[in-house]
Amino acid sequence: MKLAEIKTAVMAGETVHWASDAYVVIYAPRIEQFLIKCLLNDHCIGLTWKDGVTMNGKPSQFFVPFQKGSKPVTPRSRAKQRGTFIKCPRCEHIGCINHFSWSALTCQGCKQMVDKYDWQQEA
Ligand SMILES: [Zn+2]
């Protein structure tokens, strides 16, 4: 994603990730800056350098999960290196997995056990 696309998506309320599910781009109105926030430790760095143009990450590393829609998990599904996002068919909660070596997962949203092939993955 280009810088302008990232900013537009964040302001539209979409969740833009950088590199994995652990990092999201946020807008901090008090300092009027876009930041990359680590969800594991709440640490933030600027989305760009002080020049306001050079991004702290490659454009290809920024993404909005499910931007291209979703498709069912199949026996041939393979996880992406950055982690694959999956969506609960019951409550649409989004989680992230690093492999498909499981037969069912408990959704963190509705706490229901969902069979592997009932989950939706990124298209
Ligand atoms: Zn759910």
The pLDDT value recorded for residue 92 is: 94
The model's pTM is: 0.85
Let me know: does 88 contact 110? Beta carbons within 8 Å.
yes
pLDDT tens, position by position, 111-120: 999 999 999 9
Give the distance (Å) from ligand 1 centre to CA of residue 87.
8
Q: Across residues 48-76, what is the average pLDDT?
A: 95
Please state the separation of Cα 24 from the chain's center in Å: 7
Instruction: Using the mean position of ligand 1's atoms as its centre, give its distance from the Cα of residue 105 in Å.
Output: 10
Q: SS3 of 70, please? A: strand
Mean pLDDT of 47-63: 96
Q: Which residue has 């492999």 as its token pair?
A: 99
Domain parsing of the chain, residue ranges: 3-63, 70-122
Q: Coil, strand, or helix at residue 3?
A: helix
Beta bridge partners of 85: 96
pLDDT grade, residue 121 (50/70/90)? very high
How far does residue 119's CA lie from ligand 1's centre (Å)? 9
Q: Compute the distance from residue 53 Cα to the ligand 1 centre, in Å.
A: 39
pLDDT, tens digit, for every residue of 92-103? 999 999 999 999
Give tens-digit pLDDT for 3-45. 999 999 999 999 999 999 999 999 999 999 999 999 999 999 9
- Spatial separation of the C-alpha atoms in residues 20 and 88, rounded to whole Å: 19
Residue 86, number of CB atoms within 10 A of its CB:
26
- Cα(56) to centroid(ligand 1), Å: 33
CA 85 / ligand 1 centre spacing (Å): 13
| Residue-level pLDDT at 44 | 97
Sorted by sequence, the CB contacts under 8 Å of residue 38 that are 6+ apart come out as 22, 23, 44
- Distance from Cα 95 to the centre of ligand 1, integer Å: 9
**Confidence category of residue 86, pLDDT binned at 50, 70, 90:** very high
Residue 119 token pair: 């989950």
